Amino acid sequence: MSIAARPLFAFDNSYVRELEGLYVPWQATPSPAPRLLALNDELATELGVDAEALRAPDGVAALVGNATPDGASPVAQAYAGHQFGGFSPRLGDGRALLLGEVLDVHGRRRDLHLKGSGRTPFARGGDGKAAVGPMLREYAIGEAMHALGIPTTRALAVVATGDDVARETLLPGAVLVRVAASHVRVGTFQYAAAHGDPALVRRLADHAIARHHPRALDAENPYLAFFEAVVDAQASLIARWMLVGFIHGVMNTDNMAISGETIDYGPCAFMDAFDPATVFSSIDHGGRYAYGNQPAIAQWNLARLGETLLPLLDAEPEKAVAAATDVLQSFPDRYDAYWSRGMDAKLGLADGTGEDEALIDDLLALLHAQTVDFTSCFRALSSSVRGDATPARSLFTEPRAFDAWSDRWRAQLLSSRASDQRVVAEAMDRVNPVYVPRNHHVEEALAAATAGDLEPFARLLDVLARPFDERPGLESYAAPAPPSFGEYRTFCGT
């Protein structure tokens, strides 16, 4: 008697079933010598997948795209997008494939997606490949964001392909296996709308509502409620980015997920010294996607989503525009509420007041004026609450200005919190990380991995997995880059 082997994944592919016209069936380009570089055991368990089976040759073959797992329906997804403000009606997965969807152990539907798996009909002249460094970068930053409590796509694995990728030089190739609530983007709606198919826009909206925002179904106008839910999710997400100093770097509409997850870690980075004008991306010459511009860009992107939904909102165009505009104009207030609540928590304050807003603004102005490290300062403030102001004070070149601010802050703390100071300090430490992906450590780990040494990458992952727990021996991971690191630039990883 033979026993059938358990399939690697239990697929249920609603995107392919429901959204014909928004994908092209496709297969990955075979990799000559696949080798597993990183596997996310925790995420595999969450997906209900046997991690050891993924490590076996058949598992690695499935992860790199050399074999199609049972039940998979690999497709290249179609989407459009505004890239740095210019509209491209046909972008799509030029080097990626959606293998299918699985229900995780919590019953949540998750996409399984290959990135760097070869050319597709959307490749637009690219080679469809990816290099080891950028794929490990996405793995590491995604895990850091997850540990920080920020909604994000995550990497299940990175597999070396065994061939080289031609960039400025020849680099070892790799495929990233990405897990997401879905890969439906603002650009997906733009593609459907740009190709003149109102029925497709409606099917896409119905799919997105059922998958991500089912409460909208109970509303008088489900499509308007859906738009409002997406606006709120993005207001929350961008506030979370800002609260930890994260800069996405390429906030095109095709990189904004309807689910409210962070997606596509290309030229992203975490800010060291606080400066709203901080830009790391080598292609963002005008600073469109600078740290301080992210909320406004998010609202701009959401306006583009609203445009695609107008025919669904009301049969009368003027009423549809008015309804969408009302929702869109709520974004700044929603964002400010999430930002203020998060900043109050970072400063140990109980309730938002006018004085709280002044304290926040004045502290950020001090950080900017004195080139103070964003992450280090907020973490050090809990020591001040415990009675030792030295860690925070030492970060300022002119500490008397900080002292004056600190006196006001401590007075506000005493008036706004009934809890004892120990409890306040502990609460602050739960929201102010010690460790974020410092750019110099990320680059060090990726350079070593590209050369074949994965130990620095594994060590970095371990540090980032517990960002709020200060651990002895990891002091260098809590410090900003030394001056010798120089000006930092990131690239799209294409």
Place of tokens 């000559």: 32
Q: What is the three-state SS of the chain?
A: CCCCCCCCCCECCHHHHHCCCCEEECCCCCCCCCEEEEECHHHHHHCCCCHHHHHCHHHHHHHHCCCCCCCCCCEEECCCEEECCEEECCCCCCCEEEEEEEECCCCCEEEEEEECECCCCCCCCCCCECEHHHHHHHHHHHHHHHHCCCCECEEEEEEEEEEEEECCCEEEEEEEEEEECCCCEHHHHHHHHHCCCHHHHHHHHHHHHHHHCHHHHHCCCHHHHHHHHHHHHHHHHHHHHHHHCEECCCCCHHHCECCCCECCCCCCEECCECCCCCCCECCCCCCCCCHHHHHHHHHHHHHHHHHHHHHHHCCCHHHHHHHHHHHHCCHHHHHHHHHHHHHHHHHCCCCCCHHHHHHHHHHHHHHHHCCCEHHHHHHHHHHHHCCCCHHHHCCCCCHHHHHHHHHHHHHHHHHHCCCCHHHHHHHHHCCCCCCCCCHHHHHHHHHHHHCCCCHHHHHHHHHHCCCCCCCCCCHHHHCCCCHHHCCCCECCCC
For residue 115, how many C-alpha atoms fall within 13 Å in the half-sphere facing its CB? 29
Cα 197 from Cα 147, distance rounded (Å) = 40
Q: Which of 232, 254, 272, 284 is catalytic?
A: 254
Cα 338 from Cα 462, distance rounded (Å) = 29
**Whether 127 is catalytic:** no
Closest CA to 51 of 87, 9, 113, 22: 9
- Classify the phi-psi angles of 493: left when phi > 0, otherwise alpha if psi is within -120 to 50, otherwise beta: left
Q: Is 268 in contact with 291 (CB distance < 8 Å)? A: no
Residues with a catalytic annotation lie at 254
